[in-house]
Amino acid sequence: MDYKITARDGSKATVEYSDGSHAELDINSTTTKSHFEQMVKDFAPKTDADVSVDWLTVGDKTIVEAEDTSEESVVAGWLMKRLTAYGTHSTQLEFITENGLDAWQTKVAQIKSDNPKPS
């Protein structure tokens, strides 16, 4: 997959893909190269040109009721920060292997402290 890092600003890295699209990725001090590359793949343009879903029909008209998403937005923010800080499963296993389970539990406690769940 071709991409180029076009900007880095604090905890954000912007990548541009070969088709001209771009993604802004959250990074932190625990982000490894493999975790970053996984995020690049996750946000890459999808090439599945003809995805079949039987419920999606062109011309269908539906009214969607507005929902109060204010609490969901707050949850998404803290949760995304935690998930980014945890890293990929392989990164977590590598950390545990190299530093031990007690160190990982300490790190998890710090991540949760830094990114508290709203009450």
As a whole number, mean pLDDT of residues 20-30 equals 89
Q: Distance from first CA to last CA of the chain, Å, rounded?
A: 41
The proportion of the chain whose per-residue pLDDT surpasses 70, expressed as a percent, equals 75
**Domain segments of the chain: what residues?**
1-45, 71-119
- Residue 92: Cβ within 10 Å count: 16
- Residue 13: Cβ within 10 Å count: 19
| CA–CA gap between residue 87 and residue 31 (Å, rounded) | 6
- What is the residue-averaged pLDDT of the chain? 82
Between 81 and 76, where is the model more confident? 81
Helix (H) or strand (E) holding 61: none
Q: Which pLDDT band holds residue 84 (cuts at 50, 70, 90)?
A: confident
Residue reference for tokens 């190299």: 98
Q: Which of 24-33, 42-51, 88-97, 110-119 has the lowest mean pLDDT?
A: 42-51
Q: Which pLDDT band holds residue 42 (cuts at 50, 70, 90)?
A: confident
pTM above 0.75, yes or no: no
